[in-house]
């Protein structure tokens, strides 16, 4: 079984993210879900984004890195939207990473290093008409990553919702989220 570090999105560590982590635990994985917002959860994505900007993205990434203290190097990183920042950075730069699952976001690889590590598998999930994922360059970054990494997969789901994987938000899409959850669990089983 895998040891997994799950990073939440811009609303904070919601009930939906906690539920996702619990699903992974029930499947036998060891899961850590740090709170990058130090207890704050926001009703709207705009409020959460404003908080993230006020704290600073570098600070949130540093909080993500601090969450690895005391954990083994052989982690699989999962990030939801904003949480992709620390997940992707750690997968690219922390020695021993076993894999990454990036949900609803993807950062251009050069942001965190010249290349993606050859031995770190990655999967990326997003909706094909999500204004954030498809409209702000994340889908392009995901395509570039998939074209250059041997063990990389991009899964596009029909729809225009952002944060469709969080069961506690109005943007939740049960059918697409169920597919994501199955694919993430298969990924963890394969590389864990």
Rounded to an integer, what distance in angstroms lies between the CA atom of residue 159 and that of residue 140?
17
pLDDT, tens only, 31-40: 999 999 999 9
What pLDDT is recorded for position 113?
A: 83
What single-letter DSSP state applies at residue 1? -
Give the alpha-carbon dihedral of 57, 126, 183, 80, to 10 degrees: 20
What's the gap between Cα 11 and its chain centre?
Answer: 14
pLDDT, tens only, 39-91: 999 999 999 999 999 999 999 999 999 999 999 999 999 999 999 999 999 99
Q: How many CB atoms lie within 10 A of CB 131?
A: 11
Domain range summary for the chain, segments of one domain joined by +: 3-191
Q: What angle do CA 180, 181, 187 make, to 5 degrees?
A: 90
Nearest CA to 87 out of 2, 6, 178, 189 is that of 6
3-191 CATH choice from 2.30.30.40, 3.40.50.1820, 3.90.950.20, 3.30.70.260: 3.40.50.1820
């Amino acid at each position: 079984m895998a040891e997994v570090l799950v990073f939440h999105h811009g609303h904070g560590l919601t009930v939906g993210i906690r539920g996702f982590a619990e699903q992974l635990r029930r499947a036998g994985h060891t899961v850590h879900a740090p709170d990058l917002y130090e207890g704050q959860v926001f009703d709207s994505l705009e409020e959460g984004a404003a908080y993230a900007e006020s704290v600073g993205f570098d600070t949130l990434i540093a909080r993500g890195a601090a969450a690895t203290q005391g954990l083994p190097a052989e982690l699989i990183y999962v990030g939801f939207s904003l949480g992709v920042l620390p997940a992707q950075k750690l997968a690219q730069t922390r020695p021993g990473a076993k894999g990454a699952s990036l949900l609803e976001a993807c950062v251009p690889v050069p942001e965190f290093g010249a290349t993606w590590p050859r031995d770190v598998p990655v999967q990326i999930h997003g909706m094909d008409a999500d204004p954030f994922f498809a409209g702000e360059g994340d889908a392009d970054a995901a395509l570039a990553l998939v074209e250059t990494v041997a063990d990389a997969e991009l899964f596009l789901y029909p729809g225009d919702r952002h944060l469709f994987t969080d069961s506690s938000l109005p943007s939740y899409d049960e059918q697409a989220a169920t597919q994501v959850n199955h694919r993430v669990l298969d990924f963890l089983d394969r590389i864990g």
